[in-house]
Chain A
Amino acid sequence: MLDQLFFYLDFPFVRYAIIVGTLISLCSSLLGVTLVLKRYSYIGDGLSHVAFGALAIATILKASNNMFVILPITIFVAVLLLCGGKDTRIKGDAAIAMVSAGALAIGYLLMNIFSASANVAGDVCTTLFGSMSILTLQPTDVYLCVALSIIVLITFVLFYHKIFAITFDENFARATGVNVNLFNLIIAIIIAVIIVLAMNLVGALLVSALVVFPALSAMRVFKSFFTVTVAAAVISVVCSLSGILVAILAGTPVGSTIVGMDIIAFLICYITSCIRRRV
């Protein structure tokens, strides 16, 4: 099996998948903790559906790089959802549900009406479940992904204390002089970038798992914001790497194999926390 693995690692596209997979899982897990604590776990799902709709538009427009269409649209919707505030007429979960279902329907409709491929069902299936996307990346996709991931990581590290403050209590953060609206905007943009990147790894329907599972697993075992964030990052990277390797060795779909690994990690953390409570 190791021979087979080394044989596969000789191919550049496998190495690209491992690099991009590691970066995406790292970024998604960092923000995942904030999203779970702010009770926005489901936003990943909504935004990934928006990204799917944007992909359909990019395909129709025959964009040279889909990312230039998908990213602005997803960022715009993320800002609307996360920074809309409490004064909006359609609130939190209802807005996410509406955007999620609406974007998915519009995306599929557009793909059918303006079909650019002979296999629409296949294209939709691949985008939704991320069957192969991560193993079909070209060097330009990898560079773009690395650049965006680095921006996300630097932003998170630079504003760690501010993100920590608004994650737990926005009013208290505002009282201490933190520009809450600005940091909510930054979080919304980062989340949109992560969702768009993560679509390549696990597909639109499974993005939520990448955001939520590592954070929830880490929360079973660790208690402080810092330790949970670090543990979530480690769990996410390990699950993604093992998922990619298992998928290429066993011939299983990459996205669902990674999510399967995340579920196993969650169960291990859950059992560990149960044992620790009894001891």
Chain B
Amino acid sequence: MLAFAGSSFAKDKASTNKVDIDLSRMSSTMVFSMVYQMVTTPEKFVGKTVKMKGAFSSYYDDEAQRRFFGCVIKDALACCSQGLAFETAKPRKYPSEYPSEGASITIVGTFEYEREEGEIGFPIIKNAKLFR
């Protein structure tokens, strides 16, 4: 609980931001389909402010030597999951300033498509505010 103390963790402040795509008010079927569209056709969504509710997930990529953070949602059958990576607006220390794995989170940020030279890109929510 203390780990999340800070201005960006204030409850329900997420709803006050201007949001282009609000996934948090969609049904799970729609969220899953929408995230699929965002992952497969990211160019249509770049620059839009996205709000998403899901489970917190993180993993360390040895090759990139970087820890990725994600907001993950399951489909209606709960056999598949989709997620979007996010990067917080203010750098945080891991793990102390992040939620525990699987904890319910809401993120609000700008949808971007990150591509490093010669590599396949991936969608990511940048400048994200993280809410419980």
Contacts and interface: CB of A to CB of B under 8 A. Distances in A.
Interface of A: 8, 11, 13-14, 119, 121-123, 125-126, 129, 131-132, 135-136, 138, 247-254
Contacts of B34: 11
14 contacts: A11-B30, A11-B34, A14-B33, A119-B80, A122-B80, A131-B75, A131-B77, A131-B80, A135-B33, A248-B30, A250-B29, A251-B28, A253-B29, A254-B76
**Interface of chain A, main secondary structure:** helix
Given A119-B80, A125-B80, A13 B33 contact: yes
A126 B33 contact: no
B113 interface: no
B80 A248 contact: no
B33 A136 contact: yes
A249 B79 contact: no
Contacts of A123: 80
A80 to B, nearest CB: 32
B32 interface: yes
B36 to A, nearest CB: 5
A248 B76 CA distance: 10
A251 B79 contact: no
B80 A252 contact: no
Contacts of A253: 29, 75-77
Contacts of A13: 33, 37
B22 to A, nearest CB: 9
Contacts of A249: 27
B77 A125 contact: yes
Nearest to B32: A132
B36 A251 contact: no
Contacts of A247: 29, 76
Contacts of B29: 132, 135, 247-248, 250-254
Interface in B1-48: 26-30, 32-34, 36-37, 40
Nearest to A253: B76
A122 B33 contact: no
A136 B75 CA distance: 12
B79 A126 contact: yes
B100 interface: no
Nearest to A119: B80
Which of A129, A132, A136 is packed against the most chain B CB atoms within 10 Å? A132
Given A136-B33, A248-B30, A253-B75, 4 more contacts: A11-B37, A119-B81, A126-B77, A131-B76
